[in-house]
Amino acid sequence: MVGVSDETPDSPEPAAEPAGPQAAAATAPPPRKRLTLLLSVAAVVWVLDVITKIAAVHYLTPGQPVSIIGDTVTWTLVRNSGAAFSMATGYTWVLTLVATGVVVGIIWMGRRLVSPWWALGLGMILGGALGNLVDRFFRSPGPLRGHVVDFLSIGWWPVFNVADPAVVGGAILLVVLSLFGFDFDAPARRKAEPDPEPQT
């Protein structure tokens, strides 16, 4: 009579955990959370920009600077038809279309975001772009040609608003992240070092 063995078959071993950048991507927070961070940062920048512009239009008079620190830092109300820091004046409708494309592109990228730093940088750019787009669409002389409200003057620097440094600061942050190998849809883009060959 054949005896039945008491030994049970070995249970399958658990699959090995992914290592390297793949493991970091697997454990990264869901993109939805990063999109929420992006939109939150954009909302803060946009609200600050809108409120400060309304206050500037209400309390300041064009051509009459108000001193903050002598003549170096002043409140100076200016209507700007150009880009950030009064650049590219005369191309208002082109700048409006470009800014609209930037907003659409950032929202599209936001669906795949993993890096919180990219979410911060893109949120700053999105908030600033939306702030100036509101002026482009709703201020005189008309839609797509509206002049942006600028109100802060520092030394020789062109007059600017809250949206301008937010856009520039966000762009600088994204450049730094790219230089250090961080991508918007992965925690890091560093290449894994090849395994050393065994010595014989």
First to last CA, the chain: 52
Which position among 6, 10, 49, 150 bears the catalytic label?
A: 150
Q: Which helix (H) or strand (E) holds 88?
A: none
- Ramachandran sector of residue 152 (left: φ over 0; alpha: ψ -120 to 50; beta: rest): beta
Burial class for 1, CB neighbours closer than 10 Å (0-12, 13-18, 19+): exposed
Does the annotation mark 150 as catalytic? yes
DSSP 8-state secondary structure symbol assigned to residue 1? -
Q: In whole angstroms, what is the distance from residue 80 CA to residue 33 CA?
A: 36
Which position among 135, 164, 185, 195 bears the catalytic label?
A: 164
Catalytic residue annotation: 150, 164
